[in-house]
Structure 1
Amino acid sequence: MTSQPVLRFVDCPGAPGAPRGEQPAGAGHRMAYWEWNETGDAHHPHVVLCVHGLTRQGRDFDELARRLAGRARVICPDVVGRGHSDWLQDPAGYGVPLYAFDMLGLLTALHAEAPIATLDWVGTSMGGLIGIALCGQTGLPLPAPVRKLVLNDVGPVLEWPALERIGQYLGRPLRFATVEEGAAALWLLSSSFGPHSPEAWHALSEPMLRPAPEGGFGLHYDPAIAQAFKAMTPESAAQSEAQLWSLYDAIQADTLVLRGADSDLLTVASVVAMAGRGPKASAIEFAGVGHAPTLVDEAQSRVVADFLFGPAG
């Protein structure tokens, strides 16, 4: 039988330590997460946190999680505004600072439930930026330092043409008569993910759709996540780049960068720079893939498992 995760929830009160009345927009919401654990130990001390991209959700990691779940407790959150998590009343909260606070709250709750001795992070695109934000700040009350960090097709430099491309479809109120129609439409938007079998693409697409009140299906995420994204300018992106490099340079975790060979978001030059500074990341490139590798392909998931657990993983 194919293993399945358990859907759980955590309350996210907002920024740890911020006084009441000074919480960021979006304080007080519930975040969903998917837990995989086939170790036989409900309190396994090794946690791998897998965090998805901008318009995605935690079930993106199903195939990778199945591969890892026999060796660790694998946690795949739905970032707020996505999947089964709450939508924010104030869209101004949608951004990496709040997402990072939420992940810190999730890890705190997991640690209280079962002490975390080893912590690894796998982040695709936005999920990688959240990982950089947490790993690059010293003094955060993480239950354990991040030991290994996987940055999947993302780094401190976000190419502006790629951001413009994403902004063209982000937040559009799409409706589909059937799941099959929705999967076909998503393929048109996401063909850069690289080749997938029809079965694999259907499995990736089904969690991306939710029944619409007026019938049919819509996308799983709050269209309001587009507001902050579309407010970016080349100038603000350049300012963010400087901040991200500062965070990246402070990372102590053993870091692996994955890149789709045809990616328009992460360039070869950026990967070379990441290999030469900060944690001096190692890098692996996947041919025939753009932004971003889904880690569904056996060869892609094996790379991640080998990095986390060694070649026998």
Structure 2
Amino acid sequence: MPMSERTVLGLSAAGFHRVAYTQWGRDDAARTAVCVHGLTRNGRDFDRLALALADGWRVACPDVVGRGRSDWLPAPALYGYPQYCADMVALIARMGTETVDWVGTSMGGLIGMTLAAQANSPIRRMVINDVGPFIAQAGLQRIADYVGKDPVFEDIAAVEAYLRFILMGFGTISDECWRHMAVHGARPLPDGRFRLAYDPAIGEAFKNGPIADVDLWSLWDRVRCPVLVLRGAKSDLLSAATAEEMTRRGPGAAGLVRVVEIAGAGHAPSLMSDDQIAVVRKFLAED
């Protein structure tokens, strides 16, 4: 299936910036899907899922600003969900479609939930991967302990070893997938070494005060589209109780929410294994 690397312009208070995205599938596909990654990751995490969808969908996998191939913003305060949502709206406009299917891991799930809660949202169906409208302080603290750090690595093998440690919640995935994440999650330095492919300034938000629980139930209660909630069985970010409550509130009250627990994964299931991909595809294929 066709794959290409593209960009769209986003606008912040500091001016325009490039948002890079990878597109899979044909421009004239009947449906469009947008897959958005977690806090420190990038759109290439979805290569296997996007390829599996590309026979029926045109799939856009953006690098949220400050990550991957996208531009970095000139001030840490510019990073945040209002900017991320605005950039995704620009991407949807670039795709020229009235409706999209959404797959969001962690941060990408929160962006999707925010957009889906708005009146006249273009999101038709949504997959939220291991995040929800209530996030306990403990899970956020674990993320805060590593996000924003700027380690230097001697080679890609060292990058891979680091990712295997901080992303152990992804569960059991192949060596090929770990290497893929390392290659696309690193940026080369002039001396041949590597740093991570994100702006360390994205971690500043975790330093602006004590970390507390996050309550977004008011957003969830306004979502009206069908939602598939994926939860890592060992997750410290999406509790079983929150996932269950999601089936009773918001779209859950209308019977539009189902929860699938992924054995062996924590935060967050990788969406790289055949069984996880099949679950996502089956849900998105429903009318």
TM category, shorter: over 0.9
Q: Give the match for residue 4 of structure 2.
A: 6
Aligned position for 2:249: 277
Secondary structure of the structure 1 residue equivalent to 2:33 = strand
Matches within 5 A, 1:1-313: 5-14=3-12, 23=13, 26-37=14-25, 41-111=26-96, 116-139=97-120, 145-235=122-212, 237-238=213-214, 241=215, 244-280=216-252, 281-310=257-286
Report the number of matched residues. 283
Check whether the contact 1:50–1:77 (CA below 8 A) recurs between aligned residues.
yes
1:147-172 Cα deviation digits (max 9, x unpaired) = 10100000011121111111111111
State the identity as a percent. 46
CA distance in 2, matches of 1:146, 1:191: 30
Segments of 4+ moved more than 6 angstroms: none
Mapped contact 1:46–1:117 kept (Cα < 8 A): no
Q: Evaluate the alpha carbon distance shift between residue 154 and residue 189 of structure 1 in structure 2; reply closer, same or farther with a 3 A threshold.
A: same
* Offset, 1:234: 4.2
TM-score by length of 2: 0.94
Q: 1:9 to 1:259 in 2, by over 3 A?
A: same
Give structure 1 stretches of 5+ with no counterpart.
15-22
Q: CA deviation at 1:230?
A: 2.8
Matched position secondary structure for 1:276: coil
C-alpha separation in 2, matches of 1:233 and 1:120: 35
When residues 36 and 232 of structure 1 are mapped into structure 2, their CA distance, relative to the original with a 3 A threshold, is farther
Name the SS of the counterpart of 2:142 in structure 1. helix
CA distance in 1, matches of 2:230, 2:258: 9
| Per-residue deviation, residues 173-197 of structure 1 (Å, max 9, x unmatched) | 1111111111011111111111122
What is the aligned-residue RMSD (CA, Å)? Answer: 1.6
Q: TM-score, normalised by structure 1?
A: 0.87
> What amino acid is aligned across from residue 252 of structure 1 in structure 2?
R
Inter-partner Cα distance in structure 2 for 1:225 and 1:234: 15
The letter of the residue matching 2:116 is C
Task: Tell me how far apart the structure 1 counterparts of residues 57 and 190 of structure 2 sit (CA, whole Å).
Answer: 39
Displacement of 1:65: 0.4
| Distance in 2 between residues matched to 1:132 and 1:232, nearest whole Å | 25
SS of the residue corresponding to residue 41 of structure 2 reads coil
Q: How far did 1:67 drift? A: 0.5
Other structure's SS at 1:169 match: coil
